[in-house]
Structure 1
């Protein structure tokens, strides 16, 4: 596989299932490398099987398609006119085609995240507005004045003045309700100085309609200093009372996210974290009884994260995605009864964007593996495919221990509904990923993965790319990536080795917590022990030609490795933390640094310095490529500058790749092309001599 091959691949967007269960609507993004663009359009495929086909084709693109409750219209968002707005188009349920679309919203601050009310009469959407403005005319005038002003200076009076890759400014995200007939939006959170819903990099919506359409639930963080707080709460708001105020129903001091009403209206479920200030605490599945006001955790003994969930049509079952040992599986839990009951219903790979058919017999989800980008799969619930598969599925039980109640384990029949990249993938040599496990120094079991190069010859010796994941609460596994594609990194003659050290998700919360306050401790030992194991058990590895590469926390660990071992021929440090003390003062989500380093630099300076890669600078000898971007506000570009300056003054062979127009991730196609070329050339320079 080449970079150009990867850019030709169609990228699956989000999924929607038609109310009659006959169609799946989804987004597809195409990359034009020459034009340096990525454009999304809406596609459709029949659930009974057949060819997928595009529905829309405007130059501006379309995304987030949603069927109306009667299935006769499709809602989507597009910037085909002035700014991104919500559009409606008629849908023919028999032929799977759409008619001419018309623009529903014309709000000057643009519209995003639209969903239908259950009766199909209203749309709920999100727009960022000036909280003190009473109408859209005020917002529009304020934007025009700012655009025309010769002075671009800003005055900050509170923290979180910038976030991820943009300055937050004076606007805040609000929820709006608009009738499909009038098109005049109503601000449901007027004057609110907080974002509704809070900032998210993706995943489930932070708001939902009740089944009768008379109420919504949404997430909001009301803490006075959002830069140090993860405490979003769940609120409800009556829509049939113009004087109604939001009512808080969640009680956790940690984050509460992704509210969803049961179809019968009895419950509201959401994902919740117990500990304040910890963005990587276990995501629990909570149930709120709307009649009694009682809140309970559905699966208190499940020591894994609930990453997303969906209700079954009968309201008796919840299906959810949960990570374990490098995979993301779909599980099924009963809502009521003496014991929850738990089924693991999907095999290996990474599943997401889960939807049920209206009759509850089929489940639709995206699925990706290390060798295949995302496609839409249909899973036939209750249909076990073979005894061998059941045996294999039962083995999955150990992935979700400790579960102290009886559980059933089924593997259901599944098939791919879409085949967006089959023709291209069939032309490529994409090796299988192998997995191994080993004991770290404290006898903790740690998992690793290995990918051989194409045209592998066991009698040859190969150089190694040793990849270190970010987070630190993340994980390598059986999933596809366009930013750090392990198959592409192996393609030019390398063995790729990946370890999930302490801090990685999918191995229980204690394993996740193992990185807290110990950034260069147990995780570093796990990584080195894992590479030792690979060298000892895979004779084709040339341990004299290895390069360590990491981004974000992986970049931090690359910097830590730089000062604590000379075993590598080269290092690639992308968006890493070089100086924890300065990183604290230049980041935005302060809750992260204060949790991971157990305080601020002035309350716990010793820990910030204990795990500072900068303070081992006199040991730096390994040739290092530094990559950093100007718009990275999670780890400011100054961290990259400090590292590169130090390397240059220490006379260590080094190079810096700087992106003025990227954030924490390199996303633009030609920038990505330069990133892969620069990284691969650097590794080749030092390991293929």
Structure 2
């Protein structure tokens, strides 16, 4: 499944194969991954499960089936995957990697959809199996295909959190199920053909929606650990999720013990990424301090003995509670001997792997970053080692030019690239020299701001030294607002797509951005249109004054979510007159409408209180205060299923622009949420967005002239 193109276009990006992170088998000789491709000719998606030979980098298709998903290793040469049925059932299929030698077989059948599969080989040779499924109030798996259809579509609510992300909430919630896969006569089968609900009768729900998955729980020889929202707190107001432990001896218990909470005094926010140690007695995980700040700094913690959950130790703890490591740890991997942890965290527009001792008392210095390929780490796994003192990691990365790269990373040597889906961007006509970074003084000159720069693939500093050729500026403003532009691949906001149209793309990480320390990130609180806006003004001025290849008189700016808010804010400010066109995707029209969102803890934190107790804070940075200044042509994009920022925010902005006779256009998707994910919709999105900015920047005129020249040459 390969794709080669001389020019990187939206069609190329959206139809290119999308590889999932690779997972090595127990011996470390093979890696398993899923890949999908979309054809705009056939208007169909195709999917494969593939096996990669790590030494030779050759791969072959193991399964080619649209209904097959979530492959996991059962042994060195056997793979289990899920196969969905038309009636909502899920079959567990086992297949040998040498598929031509043996036929796949069924290891069990579940009468409902399941997902988030994890397996763990137990000391007795059996395999513990865990997954998640939507569950009814009586603790049974929910199958929408067999559900009795009501005569009315009415929904009645008497509490907060009536909808989330893109779904109206119901009584059904996520739950974790477990079972045992036993081998008989050379074949695996699910014992008693059933799974047990680990959370039945607990009022707990895991994984945590909307984005929770396998990272929300783990299997060990002692049982299950998982994170779940505190059932005593309103999920619309508080972010608190706790870590729980369920002791299991055989994974065949029909009535599991009640979950035991892991106590973390002083830390009351999100818990994430629980991982058992190799010995199965310890658990490492992350937890935030604030229970109303979704982007608070995660702290790394250790449970020294899971059988004694009353004790958890914090790494880099400080007396003031701020924590000594000013980074945001995410995923966690134990070393073979359990003496070290490998932890991913953002750092200056990349996601890196950091190494540290696995015992908090031994962390006398800050973690060191391992050498990894260009870009950002998305997944890491241990490879088999001759002895427990050596750790080789199988790492998946992406970058601004490469959508998937598998490599072997060692703590003390340079990484070895095994396989790149796009040959390090060459298949797309992209290359590393087109990527650059700049640093400029932020608002007030008290700090520096970092930005990524992506130039067209045909740009040459040598050829451009005469300064005759200038490229219009395309400024991309990220969402979050506690987020960042990373050296990482995206099919929704890919800077290279814009650069290949003929722009110099600048992606600033202003106040509020992650990966540059908590002072810069937290500086946006109560400052939505303040420091971040001034950073962007400084960015524009620095680029125009220091990058001679940039034409600031033909600049355009685009943003989504908080970036969409900033577009609307810029529209009413002096910077708005510097741009020829603006694009606002799912943006905030008025901050006074933030309580139409679902996660109310977000505005409560960022605007320093509730709408009714601190209304002036919401009014201060309200883009709707400056509607009389709106004058720059603007494209508005919004979707009906966006419950984070309801579509009325987009409609209001569009109506104002139209009423003021400002050139404007509305693009609406009735079947998308905060993100545009469906390939055909995404293609329309790109065509409309590029068409809009190209029209006002003059690139459309240049493209037409070039086409006319080509036609004359042909004649």
TM-score by length of 1: 0.90
User: How far apart are 1:657 and its partner, in Å?
Assistant: 0.3
Partner of 2:155, secondary structure, is coil
User: How far apart are 1:95 and its partner, in Å?
Assistant: 8.4
CA distance in 2, matches of 1:272, 1:86: 35
The Cα RMSD (Å) is 2.2
User: How far apart are 1:531 and its partner, in Å?
Assistant: 1.4
Match of 2:341 in 1: 318
Partner of 1:578, secondary structure, is coil
Match of 2:394 in 1: 364
Q: Is the 8 A contact 1:10 1:421 kept in 2?
A: no
User: How far apart are 1:287 and its partner, in Å?
Assistant: 0.5
CA distance in 2, matches of 1:46, 1:117: 23
Q: Is the 8 A contact 2:245 2:259 kept in 1?
A: yes
CA distance in 1, matches of 2:293, 2:474: 32
CA distance in 1, matches of 2:234, 2:441: 42
Q: Which runs of 5+ in 1 are unaligned?
A: 383-411
Aligned residue runs from structure 1 range 159-308, under 5 A: 159-179=160-180, 180-201=190-211, 205-210=215-220, 212=221, 214-222=222-230, 223-240=232-249, 242=255, 244-251=257-264, 252-290=267-305, 293-300=310-317, 301-308=324-331
Q: Is the 8 A contact 2:597 2:644 kept in 1?
A: yes
Match of 1:17 in 2: 24
Q: Is the 8 A contact 1:583 1:639 kept in 2?
A: no
Match of 1:448 in 2: 451
Match of 2:438 in 1: 436
Partner of 1:507, secondary structure, is coil
User: How far apart are 1:88 and its partner, in Å?
Assistant: 3.0
CA distance in 1, matches of 2:486, 2:339: 32
Q: Is the 8 A contact 2:72 2:118 kept in 1?
A: yes
CA distance in 1, matches of 2:44, 2:612: 45
Q: Is the 8 A contact 1:448 1:500 kept in 2?
A: yes
CA distance in 1, matches of 2:398, 2:350: 10
Match of 2:704 in 1: none
CA distance in 1, matches of 2:273, 2:380: 14
Residues 36 and 610 of structure 1, relative CA distance in 2, 3 Å threshold: farther
Residues 321 and 86 of structure 1, relative CA distance in 2, 3 Å threshold: farther
Please state if 1:87 is matched with 2:92. yes
Aligned residue runs from structure 1 range 96-135, under 5 A: 99-102=103-106, 104-108=108-112, 110-119=113-122, 120-133=126-139, 135=140
Partner of 2:511, secondary structure, is coil
User: How far apart are 1:427 and its partner, in Å?
Assistant: 5.6
Please state if 1:523 is matched with 2:518. no
Q: Is the 8 A contact 2:87 2:145 kept in 1?
A: no
Of stretches 491-500 and 334-343 in structure 1, the one that deviates more from structure 2 is 334-343
Match of 2:376 in 1: 350
- Report how many residues are paired: 648
Residues 450 and 421 of structure 1, relative CA distance in 2, 3 Å threshold: closer
CA distance in 1, matches of 2:414, 2:677: 36
User: How far apart are 1:367 and its partner, in Å?
Assistant: 1.0
Residues 472 and 40 of structure 1, relative CA distance in 2, 3 Å threshold: farther
Question: Which deviations, in whole Å up to 9, do the C-alpha atoms of 1:299-335 show, x marking residues without a partner?
Answer: 3421011121111121111111111111111111111
Q: Is the 8 A contact 1:464 1:546 kept in 2?
A: yes
CA distance in 1, matches of 2:487, 2:664: 33
Question: Which deviations, in whole Å up to 9, do the C-alpha atoms of 1:174-195 show, x marking residues without a partner?
Answer: 1111232322121111134442
User: How far apart are 1:379 and its partner, in Å?
Assistant: 1.4
Match of 1:629 in 2: 639
Please state if 1:583 is matched with 2:594. yes
User: How far apart are 1:441 and its partner, in Å?
Assistant: 2.8
CA distance in 1, matches of 2:246, 2:473: 55
Match of 1:401 in 2: none
Match of 1:686 in 2: 696
CA distance in 1, matches of 2:565, 2:668: 17
Aligned residue runs from structure 1 range 411-490, under 5 A: 412-422=413-423, 425-426=426-427, 428-430=429-431, 432-442=434-444, 443-456=446-459, 458=464, 459-490=468-499
Residues 99 and 310 of structure 1, relative CA distance in 2, 3 Å threshold: farther
Q: Which runs of 5+ in 2 are unaligned?
A: 1-7, 181-189, 318-323, 702-715
Of stretches 19-28 and 183-192 in structure 1, the one that deviates more from structure 2 is 183-192
User: How far apart are 1:98 and its partner, in Å?
Assistant: 6.9
Residues 145 and 280 of structure 1, relative CA distance in 2, 3 Å threshold: closer
Partner of 2:118, secondary structure, is strand
User: How far apart are 1:370 and its partner, in Å?
Assistant: 0.9
Question: Which deviations, in whole Å up to 9, do the C-alpha atoms of 1:7-53 show, x marking residues without a partner?
Answer: 23211213322112211111112122234444442111122233122
Of 662, 665, 669, the residue aligned with 2:675 is: 665
User: How far apart are 1:64 and its partner, in Å?
Assistant: 2.1
Q: Is the 8 A contact 2:580 2:633 kept in 1?
A: yes
Of stretches 442-451 and 661-670 in structure 1, the one that deviates more from structure 2 is 442-451
User: How far apart are 1:127 and its partner, in Å?
Assistant: 0.6
CA distance in 2, matches of 1:492, 1:289: 54
